[in-house]
Structure 1
Amino acid sequence: LLSGNDFYAFPRIDPTEKRMAWIEWSDPNMSWDKAQLWVGYFSSKGEVEKRICIAGGDPTIVESPTEPKWSSKGELFFITDRQSGFWNIYKWDEQSNVVVQVYSLDAEFSKPMWVYGVSSYAFLGNDDQSQKIVCCYRQNGKSYVGLLDHDSGSFSKIDLPFSAVTNIVSADGSFYVEGASASLPVSIAKVTLDEKRTMATDFSIVWSSSEDIKKYTPYFSLPEFMEFPTVIPGQHAYAYFYPPYNHTFQGSSDEKPPLLVGTHGGPTDEARGILDLSVQYWTSRGWAFVDVNYGGSA
């Protein structure tokens, strides 16, 4: 269907099966440095003929669009970092061929595409209802799940037991989310919303990467979120501090523990403050651990 560029991602066909959206980019750029979003129209032979560059084609705007998705109404949504530098949700107005920002927030609604198939947002509802979008985002070093009504422009946060969320998909008024917390391993949960789809009424784990982890909970050290200034005036970095903890031992009040400092791999990874047994190994044995999100972390 497509060729000529070095890399392609997110081929997405619209509900009428007449159009396809995709992301493309070429060396020396990584997809999060500079990319383009295109829409192509299928011919009667199933070939992509007419093509329109939706985002990334204007030489005056350096952006990296990602995660295009068609709503049930045939509207094209995507995430890009134009204007503010933050990955926010946008919509393509096909009639006027302009890109419209759905909601503005100094937060990242997507992440660097090291792997294909990331799903940071999903649509709730159908043609007869107000279109709502459930999404995950990171702001000031923390992860959240939000609910966006793009018709009214309202945005609200959904409280879940997960403190870090990676992927979201929707199904029948509910949504499934991949996430974890300081005491929960990476898991998939089903979240049921109320009839108005404004708040979560049920949260149930449907899959866990470690079924028997709960028996070790008394040994877990819970991280403390830290924010600190960097050498660049006005900019801050973040970290998670894990104090030493073991329910079978109590250190003396005047004794300072040894400290390990962890720095994640780069260039776009991050420390998420979730359950990590390689950290708990040290904290359960009397060591303190700090996991740093230095400048450039995702």
Structure 2
Amino acid sequence: MSPRLAPYGNWISPITASAVAAQNFLAGVEEVILDPVTSKVYFAQKRPEENGRSAVVDASSRRDLFGESWDARTQLHEYGGAAATVYNGVLYFSHILDHRVYKADLKGDGVEPTAITPVNPVTRFADFTVHPKHSDLIVCSVEDHTDPHPARVLTYLVLIDAENKTVSRLVEGADFYACARFSPDGNFLVWQQWHHPELPWQSAEIILAPVIVEGRKLKIGNTIHVAGKTEAIAAQDPNWASNNTIFFTCDVSGYHNPWKFIFDPTDPVAGKASPILREPIAEEFGAPQWFLSRHGSGALSESKVAFVSFSEGCSVLHICDLITGDMRTVSRSFAHIQYLHGDGRGKVVMLGQPADAGEALIELMLDNDGNPQIKTLSPPAVENPELPSSYISAPKYFALTLPPDNRTCYINYYPPKNPNYDGGLPGEKPPVVVLVHGGPWYMETANLNWTKQFFTSRGWAHLDVNYGGSTGFGRAFRESLQGKWGLLDIEDVYQSVLKLDELGLIDAQRAVVHGGSAGGYSVLQLATDLPTAFRAGAPHYGVSDMRKLDEVLHKFEYYLCDRLMGGTWEECEPVWRARSPIYHADKILMPLLILQGEDDTVVPADQMVEMVKKIKERKGKVDLVLFPGEGHGWRKASTAQTVLEREMVFFNEVLGLENTHSGEKALNQ
């Protein structure tokens, strides 16, 4: 059957909500692990069908390293990450069910993990580094919840003695610690630390210290400040290229660029931190450390390091020479690259996520002539007939100049695509679904997301807006949201839609908007502050009350609201109230589909019930869907399916389009 014209938004697609939900909840890689001694590759994998536990898997044999009763996760810094490591064939991991650290020798068959830390349910462990000469001595970050109040939760670097099964404090005094790493010879330890009220991408420092091992005791000598420290500088993700060379990223230039610290082991105080590149470039290297496992670099050798930057909507893989400052671009094939690890002997592994295919484990190596070679470690995925690749719409990146002050906003635009259709009716522009990401200090990446394809395959355009405050575009852009959350984000979203309408790519009169958490907050803010800007909105567990949000924030982001509102509740209560949609439901004109977990502690369901009541009293159009057993984020595939189906029905109803979400119609109807 030849392609035909049909109204945008009414196209028939085989991509069903059930298939998308099932795909989104498939087991996915959530961390890559490289044994620095054997160079074997492992990965952590989320198992939704096994109560959401995380397994650790041998990348070559695809064999799980432990049984279904084990769950390698941590809640350190609340978001977790870096819950497991493998060193010389021995696995160390944090078990979320009791928060203890366990050890398993992978050289044997069927060896059950054994605990190496005492019973202490108020401590959380993560980000392990094993001493290269005394492998029973492990340093890691610990979060102590003896006093659970976020302002009084304590964080340390500790020493675990795996033989004696003891834990002792090693470094304390900062509010947060991450990325502790032994030098290859074990004589030095480097780590990252930062203090309240900052987040690690706002202000953080790198610290170096000599290591003294006496018997089974390990001590830290006088510390040396490597980089960072001031409020306007963030240095993060340190690691070793050799016994006297550390690499990391630092945003002295306004962008996180590669840096190095080279020192004489006999006089490390005389070492000097300096940029690796000859000139700084306006690209962000690495990613904000919401998760401890988000490494953006790995050592290939003593002089060459792989780094990932973010440029024009996608990740770029580079090799940087620590001596000459030369940088060689290796690949632009992936929309998103993360979880880098290098063995320092010619191998770096990572997770690559293309815009038009599923994720894959990737290996970067140097051949005999020093040329980079990329190999895929994952077997090719078998195409799902319910999710055919011929329907995938590739994103187009734009850096838009927006009124009234000519500021820049970064977007990914997905045009409608369906091989059975040649476009809409003559002169018609497509309706658009706009996604507002959460965070808000986050970034919507352009790797394949079947939820977006669910819409584009039905003749909708899809738009991701990385509004002011999004990460990945430098410090000035990120900090532009300070004091302006609930204002700048929604203005960027609205103006981006108008700009794309001017370009003829979408129909701004048929724009709908959705988003979760902070993105849901922006949807509600649009509904109250720009009530006619969008035809409909669907907030997913959207923040509605800034004061309530501030009361439930954990230690890691304890001061988030203060920074984004421009002051504390006591300092500027009117601002907090003005930007809390719960107080302004009487202004809402936009039809809303409110999607809410009944067990949400961040956005209590009764807030949404009250908001719906106020909207209905004014005869407004609003639907509320409460999901039993769901909290602040969807955990069930059945919920994700219902969300997609209800959104499509609601949006189509508001715009007067046919409901074709289930794919039950024949193409020749």
What TM-score do you get using the length of structure 1 for normalisation? 0.88
Secondary structure (helix, strand or coil) at the match of 2:369 reads coil
* Residue matched to 1:42: 211
Secondary structure (helix, strand or coil) at the match of 2:430 reads coil
Q: Quick one: distance in 1 between partners of 2:249 and 2:462?
A: 35
1:229 paired to 2:401: yes
Asked whether the equivalents of residues 188 and 207 of structure 1 are also in contact (C-alpha less than 8 Å), the reply is no
Percent pairwise identity: 26
**Residues 284/195 of structure 1: CA separation in 2 closer, same or farther (3 Å cut):** same
Match of 2:362 among 169, 181, 189: 189
The letter for the 2-side match of 1:190 is: E
Deviations 1:201-252, CA, capped at 9 Å, x for gaps: x4324267x6545861011111112121134756422111111111123333
Secondary structure (helix, strand or coil) at the match of 2:295 reads coil
* Residue matched to 1:17: 186
Secondary structure (helix, strand or coil) at the match of 1:206 reads coil
Deviation at 1:3, TM superposition (A): 1.5
* Residue matched to 2:462: 289
Asked whether the equivalents of residues 400 and 409 of structure 2 are also in contact (C-alpha less than 8 Å), the reply is yes
The letter for the 2-side match of 1:81 is: D
Q: Quick one: distance in 2 between partners of 1:48 and 1:232?
A: 54
* Residue matched to 2:428: 255
Deviations 1:165-189, CA, capped at 9 Å, x for gaps: 1232235534322121221123212
* Residue range with higher mean Cα deviation, 12-21 or 188-197: 188-197
* Residue range with higher mean Cα deviation, 175-184 or 223-232: 223-232
Instruction: Say which structure is richer in helix.
Output: 2
Q: Quick one: distance in 1 between partners of 2:430 and 2:293?
A: 42
Match of 1:69 among 239, 251, 256: 239
* Count of residue correspondences: 289
The letter for the 2-side match of 1:16 is: D
Matched ranges for 1:1-298 at <5 A: 1-43=170-212, 44=214, 45-57=217-229, 59=230, 62-82=232-252, 84-95=253-264, 96-103=270-277, 104-126=280-302, 131-171=303-343, 172-200=345-373, 202-206=374-378, 211-213=382-384, 216-231=388-403, 235-251=407-423, 252-298=425-471
Relative contact order (alpha carbons < 8 A, sep ≥ 6): 1 or 2 greater? 2
Q: Quick one: distance in 2 between partners of 1:218 and 1:141?
A: 22
Q: Quick one: distance in 2 between partners of 1:149 and 1:232?
A: 43
The letter for the 1-side match of 2:178 is: A
Deviations 1:237-278, CA, capped at 9 Å, x for gaps: 211111111112333343322111111112221122111111
* Residue range with higher mean Cα deviation, 181-190 or 275-284: 181-190
Q: Quick one: distance in 1 between partners of 2:286 and 2:404?
A: 25
The letter for the 2-side match of 1:156 is: R
Deviations 1:98-157, CA, capped at 9 Å, x for gaps: 21111122211122110102221111135xxxx111111013443211111122221111
Deviation at 1:190, TM superposition (A): 2.4
The letter for the 1-side match of 2:412 is: Y
Give RMSD over aligned pairs: 2.3
Asked whether the equivalents of residues 263 and 292 of structure 1 are also in contact (C-alpha less than 8 Å), the reply is yes
The letter for the 2-side match of 1:177 is: M
Higher-Rg member (1/2)? 2
Secondary structure (helix, strand or coil) at the match of 1:119 reads coil
Structure 2: where are the runs of 5+ without partners?
Answer: 1-169, 265-269, 472-669
Q: Quick one: distance in 1 between partners of 2:239 and 2:357?
A: 30
Structure 1: where are the runs of 5+ without partners?
Answer: none
Asked whether the equivalents of residues 182 and 275 of structure 1 are also in contact (C-alpha less than 8 Å), the reply is yes
* Residue range with higher mean Cα deviation, 93-102 or 18-27: 93-102
Q: Quick one: distance in 1 between partners of 2:365 and 2:207?
A: 34
Q: Quick one: distance in 2 between partners of 1:189 and 1:211?
A: 18
**Residues 294/196 of structure 1: CA separation in 2 closer, same or farther (3 Å cut):** farther
Asked whether the equivalents of residues 137 and 144 of structure 1 are also in contact (C-alpha less than 8 Å), the reply is yes
Q: Quick one: distance in 2 between partners of 1:148 and 1:77?
A: 11
Asked whether the equivalents of residues 122 and 168 of structure 1 are also in contact (C-alpha less than 8 Å), the reply is yes
The letter for the 2-side match of 1:85 is: G
What TM-score do you get using the length of structure 2 for normalisation? 0.41
Asked whether the equivalents of residues 260 and 274 of structure 2 are also in contact (C-alpha less than 8 Å), the reply is yes
Secondary structure (helix, strand or coil) at the match of 2:378 reads strand
**Residues 240/110 of structure 1: CA separation in 2 closer, same or farther (3 Å cut):** same
Q: Quick one: distance in 1 between partners of 2:413 and 2:332?
A: 22
Instruction: Say which structure is richer in strand.
Output: 1
Q: Quick one: distance in 1 between partners of 2:200 and 2:404?
A: 26
Q: Quick one: distance in 1 between partners of 2:185 and 2:396?
A: 49
Asked whether the equivalents of residues 124 and 133 of structure 1 are also in contact (C-alpha less than 8 Å), the reply is yes
Q: Quick one: distance in 1 between partners of 2:342 and 2:396?
A: 32
